Amino acid sequence: MSHYAPAAKAKMPLYKRWWVWLVGVVGLIVVGLIVILGSATGGSGGETEVGPIMPNAEQPADAPAEQPADAPAEIKPPGIGDSASWSGFGSGGTVTLNSVRRITSPESPSGTSPENGSYLVADVTVEAADGTISGNPLLWVVQSEDGTTYPADITALAAQIDSAQLQPGRQTRGEVAFDAPEGALLLDYRSPVGEPLATFSIEG
């Protein structure tokens, strides 16, 4: 009696199997989505490339920053023809800078030639409002832009402001001389302990 083994069943090629095609289609879709998302974010890592920051074409790179609209304006001291008042340091009053002039030689016989080319002569009025004050020339100082100070020269003028003490309501007017260079200057009227009470700006 003959025995015959059953023939082996032929295997189906991979390309004919449905699940192979399904895996391939799904893989293509996933790759496509990755490419699309990578392009949208500027790179596969999701980072966006940022170019160098360029200065505003309408404003130079080294232009100073603009001041805020509500920034306080710089306060300039009063000048010739103006008055300045104070209240404090045990007194109160008003100083007026009436005018200034220059002289190249002293008006007093005891005076000497100015070391800075000429004398600055300030015509001032001092009025007391509170306490006792004085127009004493030794209370006046001129300061240049570099911070150098020039005290009053009491020998330059034949007649200078009175040094008498003033009671409230009284005033005195006179001149004070300074051996100071020409240019932008600040004129200070100070208390006996050196505190500035009134300051004026002078171009001369």
pLDDT at 136: 96
Q: Which two tokens stand for residue 45?
A: 């890592």
Provide the strand spans (E) within 83-170.
Answer: 83-88, 91-103, 119-130, 133-134, 140-144, 149-151, 165-166
pLDDT score for 44: 45
pLDDT at residue 46, as a whole number: 46
| DSSP 8-state code for residue 169 | T
Which stretches in the chain have pLDDT values below 70?
Answer: 1-21, 24, 35, 37-73
What would be the CATH architecture of the domain defined by 83-203? Sandwich (2.60)
Q: What is the pLDDT, as a whole number, of residue 127?
A: 97
Q: Give the model's pLDDT for residue 114.
A: 97
Query: Alpha-carbon torsion 146, 148, 149, 153, what sign?
Result: negative
Question: For residue 45, what pLDDT is reported?
Answer: 47
- Rounded CA separation 177/55 (Å): 54
pLDDT of residue 52: 55
pLDDT of residue 42: 53
Distance, in Å, from the CA atom of 129 to the CA atom of 87, rounded to the nearest integer, reads 9
Looking at residue 69, what is its pLDDT? Answer: 62
- Rg (Cα) of the chain, in Å, rounded? 45
Contact assessment for residue 37 and residue 48, using Cβ atoms and an 8 Å cutoff:
no
Q: What pLDDT shows up at residue 12?
A: 57
pTM for the whole structure: 0.64
Domain boundaries of the chain, sorted by first residue? 14-45, 83-203
